[in-house]
Amino acid sequence: MPGSTNFVPWNPSQINQESDAAYASDSQRVGGAPNGVAFPSATGNKLFYQVSVGITALMQMMAAKGFTVNDTNLATLTSVLAAIRTTADIASGLDSISYSSAITCDAAAFIGFQISLAGNTTLTVTGVAAGQSLIFIFVQDSAGGHIVTWPGTFFGGLQPDPTPNSVSVIVFDIDTGLNGRAASPVISNNGTFATGGLVCPTRSPGDNTTNAATTAFVDAAIAGSFTSGSNSNGAWVKDPTGELTQRNGNVSLGGGDFVVTFPIAFANTINLSIVVTVVYPSGDTGFLTVNGITTSGFNIHQNNLTGMSANWIAIGNGS
């Protein structure tokens, strides 16, 4: 809600008041009013008008922001005007801190801290303010592997990259309870880090942690989810759902029945589909049938026409 102010400008109608040009060149404005010389009312009105308008504008700005400002109590007025932020109220940039096993970071004086790690360290953070963001930069020495113990009021603080000579950055936001809440992952010159300081992406197919994954990891995981192989009976591939596809090259059927043995056995014959493509000798026709289907193979029966061959493919539930 708007506040209030009792500050008003002097001579708001600017009656009997010097113009800007006359006031700028007025010898009394430049050199001050000398003793024993009249101080013209037009000059005084301009002086009081400028000063009062400036102060009134400032006070109206404070009132518009919900403050009550008046001239009845100097201490109260001083306290209200303290809400105006100046460069003296703004924390400086980055505080460079040499290694110590116990380090205090003054958040009232700095918005960021670059800390050299030559060993493990315990942090204390003082002077925090609600809504403040703090940046922590950790520089490992040539040995690396040093860890940080965060203050008990800082939540989600991860460990810096343990790699020797690495530089890690993490940002915290301060809540209304003056607790630090991690607002970013740990990012180092080697990449992004997750819980426990593990580098993202995860390292190999089958790693089920919640770390992020790069395209290379995803490609490897997809490729690793398919299994395949071949032997003298043909080739096979099984997808992540367990569906098994098997096939062979062109086989000569000869006469009578031809026994096909799958490269590997299916789990069952439920929904097992077999497709046979027949290649007839030039100018000849014939027929064939498929029978004797099991999880291990099937029979191709044809009408004793010599020179016939076939290709087959089978799809079903993998074992």
pLDDT of residue 187: 86
Please check the confidence at residue 198 and state whether its pLDDT lies above 50: no
* Closest alpha carbon to 95 in 130, 127, 129: 127
pLDDT of residue 110: 92
Question: Looking at residue 199, what DSSP letter applies?
Answer: B
Domain edges within the chain = 4-81, 88-193, 228-317
From CA 212, how far away is CA 245, in angstroms rounded? 32
Q: Answer for the pair 141, 120: CB distance below 8 angstroms, yes or no.
A: no
Reported confidence tier of residue 90, pLDDT bands at 50, 70, 90:
low
Number of neighbours of residue 22 by Cβ within 10 angstroms: 13
pLDDT of residue 240: 82
Lowest-confidence pick of 36-40, 199-203, 243-247: 199-203
| Mean of pLDDT over the chain | 86
Please check the confidence at residue 146 and state whether its pLDDT lies above 50: yes
pLDDT of residue 60: 93
Q: Coil, strand or helix: which one is 274?
A: strand
pLDDT one-digit tens code per residue, 209-237: 655 666 777 777 777 778 889 998 999 99
From CA 3, how far away is CA 53, in angstroms rounded? 19
pLDDT of residue 197: 47
pLDDT of residue 103: 97
Q: Answer for the pair 286, 305: CB distance below 8 angstroms, yes or no.
A: yes
Reported confidence tier of residue 132, pLDDT bands at 50, 70, 90:
very high
**Judging by beta carbons within 10 Å of its beta carbon (0-12, 13-18, 19+), is residue 298 exposed, middle or buried?**
buried
From CA 294, how far away is CA 269, in angstroms rounded? 6
CATH T-level topology, domain 228-317: Immunoglobulin-like (2.60.40)
pLDDT one-digit tens code per residue, 13-65: 999 999 999 999 999 999 998 898 888 999 999 999 999 999 999 999 999 99
From CA 214, how far away is CA 257, in angstroms rounded? 52
Considering the chain, what percentage of its residues have pLDDT values greater than 70? 87
List the beta strands (DSSP E) in 127-195. 133-140, 148-149, 154-155, 167-174, 180-182, 186-188, 191-193
277 or 214: which carries more pLDDT confidence?
Answer: 277
Q: Answer for the pair 174, 129: CB distance below 8 angstroms, yes or no.
A: yes
Tokens of 101: 């096993």
Number of neighbours of residue 307 by Cβ within 10 angstroms: 14
**Judging by beta carbons within 10 Å of its beta carbon (0-12, 13-18, 19+), is residue 114 exposed, middle or buried?**
middle
Largest CA distance in the chain: 141
From CA 39, how far away is CA 19, in angstroms rounded? 16
Q: Are strands 133-140 and 68-69 parallel, antiparallel or unpaired?
A: unpaired
Residue 61 host element (H or E): helix 41-64
Question: Looking at residue 266, what DSSP letter applies?
Answer: B
Please check the confidence at residue 184 and state whether its pLDDT lies above 80: yes
Counting every residue written for the chain, the total comes to: 319
Q: Answer for the pair 5, 52: CB distance below 8 angstroms, yes or no.
A: no
74 or 279: which carries more pLDDT confidence?
Answer: 74
Please state the pTM of the whole predicted model. Answer: 0.46
From CA 225, how far away is CA 250, in angstroms rounded? 29
From CA 53, how far away is CA 23, in angstroms rounded? 16
Distances (CA, A) of 167 to 64, 154, 284: 46, 21, 77
Determine the average pLDDT of the residues in 92-101: 91
